[in-house]
Amino acid sequence: MEGSSPAEALEQNKNDWWSIYRNTVRFFICVQLVNFYVLPLHYRVFWVQSAALIWQTYYSYITQKKRAEK
């Protein structure tokens, strides 16, 4: 909730949900395609966890950027 009231957090979630979901699906479809078709088995966990770390960093940056703009 990042210091917001429950009503503000719900409103922010309603406003941002679709764009975040769409970008998540786009990103992880590409990650999983590389994971299953290119990488050897012993690199797959590292690849997916690295991608998740990158995604969480991006997601945090985007949400904090929107908050700073307000």
Q: Which residue has the tokens 């985007």?
A: 62
* Residue 34 tokens, joined: 């590389």
What pLDDT digit, counting tens, does each position of 23-68 carry?
A: 999 999 999 999 999 999 999 999 999 999 999 999 888 888 776 7
What pLDDT digit, counting tens, does each position of 7-27 carry?
A: 887 888 888 888 889 999 999
Longest dimension (CA), the chain: 46
* Residue 38 tokens, joined: 């290119």
Q: What is the pLDDT of residue 41?
A: 95
55 with 24: CB under 8 angstroms? yes
Q: What is the pLDDT of residue 51?
A: 97
Q: Is it the case that residue 3 has pLDDT exceeding 80? A: no
61/45 Cα distance (integer angstroms): 24
Interacting residues of 24 by C-beta distance below 8 A, sequence separation 6+ = 55
